Amino acid sequence: MDGSPAGPRRPGHGGAVVGGRRAPRPLPRRLRGPALERLLSETHHWADEGTGLRAVLVVDDTTLGPATGGVRTRAYPSEGEAVADARGLAQAMTIKCAAAGLDAGGGKIVVWRHGPDRQAAFVELGRRVEALGGGLLTAGDLGTTDEDLRAMARSTRFVHTGGRRLLAAAGRAMLRSVQACADVRGRAVGDLHVAIQGCGDIGTAAARALRAAGARVTVADLDAERAEALAQEIGGRACAPDEVLTLDVDVVSPCAVGGAITAAVAGQVRAWAVCGAANNVLASAEAEDVLLHRGVLFVPDVLASCGAVIEGAGERLMGLLDRTPLIDQLRDTVGDVLRQALDTGTRASDIVRRRAKARIEAKATAHASSREERR
């Protein structure tokens, strides 16, 4: 996917409609051009004594458009570790947006501390996002609640609070990615058994979508009651969390914290495909090498997990009336990546990264040429 889709766009959503397309809403004049580039090229360390807020924003790249990335709320031993996590997640968002054909770049907010009045801290966080003038569109992520996002929305226009639609899109993207795995193996999703690690919002969305498509689903979570409740809801089964990644199934799907697939786990996986929506599923490049050597298909999580950002950025930044065609296109995109990986013996993640960087470089070249022409 090297370009933006030509689907219908939302009228009256911040820009003029021309030929069925909405012109992107311009950023405030004070935040255009070099001023915006300087502002967003920095790592922002946000601290507020009144609310106890301690957060960091990392913007990785805005070549294709404003940065997008969720708010992760998690305790870290130090601010340095929070920055390192935010940087890695922001870089992944850049690749995710480029690979998904979005007119958006990558960023990430990590809240690593707040005072006793949590809602006040997130209202303050919203003020910080608002001050960026639309240079960052954010939403939820691990550890951030719907209440947190609603608190942010009291002080910024640039937070997505439509959690239900985002989760439905995340589940649809996971389904299309697993379908691509099935296509490569000449199978149907209805014939597959998928084991999902993590019964949080993303794991639940994936489980529901896959079960609705006819797959057998086994789920696991550190909260055994939550796993059992989801299993009963969808007509699946629950298993112990330490068993889920090595079950004798068709596909294993890590949808909890990152780094679940270590090199050791990759050597023990009995499934023929790994396709999960957790950020940074692999603990190392070595883990992917082990999977590749064993002939286990691996869907890079920047593709499998991009449903929510397609939904959010597709609506808010690109004005698409219907984002489902872009999500459904993942089936072909993932299938093409998997086949190329098998044919060439190349890591699937490297293939996706090269394609994404090529799209970003092409846009940067076009920008440079346009500036030269205006001189």
* Average pLDDT score over residue span 194-218: 97
What percentage of the chain has pLDDT greater than the value 70?
Answer: 88
Task: Give me the residue label for tokens 């690749």.
Answer: 95
| Low-confidence winner among 161-165, 187-191, 320-324, 357-361 (lowest mean pLDDT) | 161-165
How many angstroms separate the CA atoms of 138 and 163, rounded? 12
Count CA atoms within 13 Å of residue 99 on its CB side. 31
Q: What is the pTM of this model?
A: 0.85
Please report the pLDDT score of residue 258 as a whole number.
Answer: 86
The 10s digit of each residue's pLDDT in 116-144 is 999 999 999 999 999 998 999 999 988 99
Q: Given CA atoms 344, 259, 306, 71 in this order, what sign does their dihedral have?
A: negative
Nearest to 223, CA basis, from 254, 256, 190, 248: 256
Residue 279's nearest CA partner among 91, 123, 114, 81 is 91
How much is the pLDDT for 322? Answer: 92
d(CA 289, CA 191) in angstroms, rounded, equals 28
The phi, psi pair for 188, rounded to 5°, reads -110, 145
Label residue 38 exposed, middle or buried (CB < 10 Å: 0-12, 13-18, 19+).
Answer: exposed
328-344 tens-digit pLDDT: 999 999 999 999 999 99
Map tokens 């689903």 to a residue.
217
- For residues 62 and 37, the answer to whether their CB atoms sit within 8 Å is yes
Question: What confidence score (pLDDT) does residue 224 get?
Answer: 97
- Band of pLDDT at residue 33, cut at 50, 70 and 90: low
Query: CA-to-CA distance for 30 and 65, rounded, in angstroms?
Result: 17
Identify the structural domains of the chain with CATH numbers, from first to last: 41-161 (3.40.50.10860), 165-357 (3.40.50.720)
Residue 108: active-site member = yes
User: CA end-to-end span of the chain, whole Å?
Assistant: 32
- Do residues 72 and 108 touch, judged by C-beta distance below 8 A? yes
* 3-class secondary-structure state, position 213: coil
Model pLDDT for residues 365-375, shown as the tens digit of each residue: 887 777 767 76
Query: Which tokens belong to 229?
Result: 């409740």
Say which amino acid occupies 203: G
* CA nearest neighbour of 354 among 311, 300, 318: 300
pLDDT confidence bin for 242, thresholds 50/70/90: very high
